[in-house]
Structure 1
Amino acid sequence: MSASHEVLWSIGEFAERAGATVKSVRFYSDRGLLPEASRSGGGHRRYGPEALERLRLIRSLRALDLSLPEVRRVLDDEDAAGRVLEEAVASRLRELGSELKTLRWREAALRLVQECPAAERAGRLRLLGAVSTPPSTASLARFWRAWLPPRMPARATAAFLEVAVPQPPDEPAPAQVLAFAGLHAMTTAPCPDGRQPQPEVHRVAGARGAAALYAGLAEAYEIAGPQLRRARNPYPGEALDAYVAAYASAYGSRDTREFRRLLAARLATGPRLDRYWELTAVVLTLPDGRPEPTPGSADDWLRAALERDNAQAA
């Protein structure tokens, strides 16, 4: 069909045929997304079938919540339209995931306030108000970086932070929101004497020795993990041997009976972070209510195993 016989519609006719408003048609036309076939003698816009298909595609893309720049990229690059669309959709899915996580944390926080006794409401509001939504783990990471020996190798520090800093769950229960707010409050509170207490072994082992220590402890915690999940009582075995070996290396000693007695005494007088690990256990609780082992719970289990081993050998 020649151009002179092409079916053309006025903007009102076109909007009615497309099931859109005149305002939206004008909006997309003004931004160069919707082609006009021609103008009437009076300067009025005319649209053809090609524009109708184009508008349907635009509305489909906008229904997916793609932005105008993303829609333009899909429309302008016909050869790569599939790839561009995939990238745009993937980007929007990531954004939606973040938005949903934010909404779930807000919902859990609101339930936390709604369900708590009136006398506790002000305190909980203060805790929650100090935490971003969804929460950031930056304060927890700073806490541990200050606790670790200075100049510890970056790779070792990153490996330690990976197990020591709990990641906020995507769909938290109110108790998990409260626990994470507690962790934030604990890790941002000033230390009583102005500096964070550190275990003696940091001074003895130095930065590189501490890196080897925590790599060894991570191995011991991993071995002990299945026993904690089965709620087995602490006992001497492979996990305890790995635990003692890590400390023996840091102290420049050997795993002897005397060293095990000295180690138990040193660990008993070292700084404790029980509250941190208690809160972490709540944050990491699985949806079915089962607690996940933490470095803190694994360390407690291994210390108890050490005490039992020493008692049996006495």
Structure 2
Amino acid sequence: MSMSVIPPADLLLVPEPKSKTSENERQLLSKVEAKRAEAKAAVQKRKNAEKAMYFSQEKHDKWDQKKELRELQKAELKKPVIDHQHNGVWDTEADKRNDASIDGTLTADAIARAKAQKAMDRRIQREREESEAFKRECDLKEQRRVEKADRDLREKIRLKIVADRKAEKDEARRVKAEMEARSKDILAREACAIQDKLQDALRERKIVLAKQAADDEYDRNRFAEWKRDMHNKRELDNVREQREKKEAEDEERERRREQLEEWKERERLRKEEEAKALARSKAARQQFHARSREKAIQD
């Protein structure tokens, strides 16, 4: 019988820790988190790409403007005094005519032609300046139009980014609220299951401790019996060793006694042989002396 503080709900609604239902919920939550992370990464990647594109476009536009300004400056420096063309060749005779008029070497017809040439040069110069002014005005209008379009596009992107961030925050709040509600429910169920598990673990612990105490008592009895058997075995081994040692000592004494008897017998025989040899030697010596005396007497 369960002793939980929280009454247990239906088994289908109370997933135990590491149960199949809890594992499925964890897998679903992990999939949701993975999808959210992928969406955030994709949005951040798109934002970085747009930012890099706009910065690169702005840098490219500035570079083009600087390049065009340098080209205009170089063209202004390279222009001659009279900047009109005849058949694709720059007219430099105006400088010579101006130099000649200064020296006073021109005739009346030459002076008239020079005045007409100067008037034509001024008209051409004026038309060129008007054309350049019109071109600059058109370029300025085009530049302002491009800048306005760029500003509008940047504003549109900024508004879109703000809307995306707001949507992300709303989605995060919704997911967080859903996760908190689900976590509270899961925590309550897990607390109930944990309480049941704790009571079951306590009962199992008591059973294990009782079994361990019985096993320890059995081991102590077996150890005492083993010690008693070993003591008796050592006593029997000591008695057997003492008996074998005494028998070995008796055998050694008997062997030494027999060896002593044999030595004495050999000594007796040796002495008898020596006595016999000494007697024979003495008899031979006496016989030799007797023959020597007889021979001396005969001589």
Is this a same-fold pair by TM over 0.5?
A: no
Provide TM-score, normalisation by structure 2: 0.17
More helix by share: 2
By relative contact order (CA 8 Å, sep 6+), the higher-ranking structure is: 2
TM-score by length of 1: 0.16
- Report which of the two structures shows the higher radius of gyration computed on alpha carbons: 2
